[in-house]
């Protein structure tokens, strides 16, 4: 079985959430772009709302 490479990205990322995307959708895009499994958001925004959404990446997910 192949071992998973340790994460190299850790930290807090501020994302400008566009309308029509859920907070979960933003996390999914971040997981794919950063090639990181552990991505979490600081709080749910309504799908129609825009604004800053904080994402924790890697070990920083515990801080949120």
More confident residue, 7 or 40: 40
Q: What is the mean pLDDT of residues 13-34?
A: 95
For the chain, the domains span 11-63
- Say what the pTM is: 0.83
Would you call 46 a catalytic residue per the annotation? yes
d(CA 25, CA 31): 10
d(CA 53, CA 18): 10
The active-site residue, picked from 16, 25, 46, 48, is 46
Per-residue pLDDT, 50 = 94
| Three-class HEC string of 3-61 | CCCCCCCCEEEEEEECCCCCHHHHHHHHHHHHCCCCEEECCCCCCCCCEEEEEEEHHHH
């Amino acid at each position: 079985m192949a071992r998973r490479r340790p994460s190299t990205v850790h930290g807090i990322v501020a994302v400008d959430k566009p309308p029509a995307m859920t907070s979960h959708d933003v996390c999914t895009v971040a997981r794919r772009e950063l090639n990181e499994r552990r991505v979490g958001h600081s709080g749910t925004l309504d799908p129609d709302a825009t604004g800053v959404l904080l994402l924790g990446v890697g070990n920083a997910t515990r801080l949120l």
